[in-house]
Amino acid sequence: MSYTFQFGALAPYQNEILAGIWLTIKLSVVSIVLGALAGTVLASLRSTFGRPVRILVDTYVEIIRNTPFLVQLFIVYFGLPGLGLRVGADTAALIGMTINLAAYSTEIIRAGIEAVHKSQIEAGEALGFTRFQIFRHVIIIPAISKVYPSLCSQFVLMMLASSICSAISTRELAAVAAFVESQTYRSFEVYIVVTLIYLALALTLRGVLALLGMWLFGRRVARRTLTQLPEVRT
């Protein structure tokens, strides 16, 4: 059986595809920033305060990490209106992505904090550093440096997982692809193009994060960021 590829059939929908790419980028960038900040705060609270806070943070992390991202999106998009909080599809997608990424970031950064040796903290105390200076210069910055490649892998996975947001009618790239396929019936062409776009987005994001890592932590961390592949979540 022969098949003739007709990529030209997608040309009339280039504006829709570009809009989907742009929304995917916006959702990914904002959720990465918010999720990383939330993860840093939660990991810090877990390591600084007592058992009650640690239990609360661990409970949140375990719930998010052991439930499907799609279910989390449904709770935000369909569940919040039952509480009187109505949000649009794009806002629900952003909230869901941020909540999900924050949990994974918390666990990754927690591992980095626990990898900081106690002797380093004692050295900071001996030098007369305040508790805030010790936390900033001796604990959190070295901790993030150690786990930065793993964090970046999680960021890339979150960008790819944004395709799940099409299930709540968010008009990101995957949703636009489904629309174009329904109009053209050119499934191979549509999803080959979309696959290449996602690949380009992932590689670009990894490159940007590697440059950021080089600026923040040096070439060694940046090199590990580029070479470490994301782990697929199940």
Per-residue pLDDT of the chain (234 residues; tens, 9 = 90+): 577 888 888 999 999 999 999 999 999 999 999 999 999 999 988 888 878 999 999 999 999 999 999 999 999 999 988 888 888 999 999 999 999 999 999 999 988 888 777 777 667 767 777 767 777 777 778 888 888 888 999 999 999 999 999 999 999 999 999 999 999 988 899 999 999 999 999 999 999 998 888 887 776 665 666 666 555 443
The burial class, CB within 10 Å (0-12 / 13-18 / 19+), for 121 is: middle
| Backbone dihedral region for residue 128 (phi beyond 0: left; psi -120 to 50: alpha; all else: beta) | left
Provide the residue type at 203 as one letter. Answer: L
**pTM, 2 dp:** 0.86
CB 155 within 8 A of CB 27: no
Share the mean pLDDT of the chain: 87
CB 233 within 8 A of CB 157: yes
Q: CA angle, corner 93, sides to 87 and 98, nearest 5? A: 110
Q: Please list, in sequence order, all residues whose beta carbon lies within 8 angstroms of the beta carbon of residue 58, skipping any fewer than 6 positions away.
A: 46
Q: CA angle, corner 101, sides to 100 and 103, nearest 5? A: 70
Alpha helices by DSSP H, listed for the chain, are: 14-48, 51-65, 69-74, 89-114, 118-126, 131-133, 141-161, 173-184, 187-217, 219-227
CATH code for residues 11-227: 1.10.3720.10
Domain boundaries, the chain: 11-227
